[in-house]
Amino acid sequence: MIGSLDRLVERIDEHLASTSRHILVVGVDGSSASGKTSVARYLRSAHPEVTAVVHTDDLAWHHSFFGWHELLRTEILVPVAKGALPVEYRPPGWVRQQRCGAIRIGDSTRCLIVEGVGAAHRSVAEWLDVNVWVQASADVRAYRQEQRLRAGIDSLDFMDDWNAHERLFHQRDLPWTRADFMIDGNDARLREPATGPDRMDAGGRERLVHSS
């Protein structure tokens, strides 16, 4: 049986209330503009001191649309599984482009949320404790993508290119077939403005690139 947003929150709460030293890893996957970042933000807001979020767009930045799963596995998921915190990682694109900062997972983390298109890919599925698929209608996603165009977050050429690659990627991976939780990306509880560090700067997604 596929669980709801409420049950997903309960699953995380149950883990945090336990004495387990294991770090719960939640993969939040879905199509572009389905509400994945909003789900991750909502989940983190309940326990911000012990919940970390990794955005796959940060791994993909100046690297590859969908060729970053080995980075996710070796640099994020394996160290977290070993309890080797804190994690501080600068992906290859950050180094090449001299982007400041790093992806950081603090030593107090007990729940890690990995969100983005491909977050629950079959190549990393064994490292995920919870597999989430965020579903939104085509009309809702189209409206949200139009808002991104108007805001200058994406260009039309980039969006068309991304959508074509995303469709092929999902046709090969079928991530929704492995979902433990199917979340409505249009749930009113998720309608928070995209502000703060969870939002990529305008034009930021333009710097995602293909595998070469």
- Whether the Cβ atoms of residue 144 and residue 98 lie closer than 8 Å to each other: no
Q: What does the pLDDT look like over 64-122, one tens digit per residue?
A: 989 999 999 999 999 999 999 999 999 999 999 999 999 999 999 999 999 999 999 99
pTM over 0.75: yes
Question: Which of 98-107, 150-159, 171-180, 185-194 shows the lowest per-residue confidence on average (mean pLDDT)?
Answer: 185-194
Residue whose pair of structure tokens reads 């809702």 in the numeric block: 140
pLDDT tens, position by position, 6-51: 999 999 999 999 999 999 999 999 999 999 999 999 999 999 999 9
Confidence class of residue 186 from pLDDT cuts 50, 70 and 90? confident
Q: Tell me, what's the pLDDT at 198? A: 41
Which phi and psi (to 5°) does residue 207 adopt? -95, 5
> What residue has token string 């030293």?
21
CA 196 – CA 190 distance, rounded (Å):
15
Percent of the chain with pLDDT over 70: 89
Strand partners, 178: none
Give CA separation, 47 vs 43, 75, 140, in Å: 8, 24, 29
At residue 126, does pLDDT exceed 60?
Answer: yes
Lowest-confidence pick of 53-57, 121-125, 141-145: 141-145
Closest of 142, 127, 143, 133 to residue 183, by C-alpha: 133
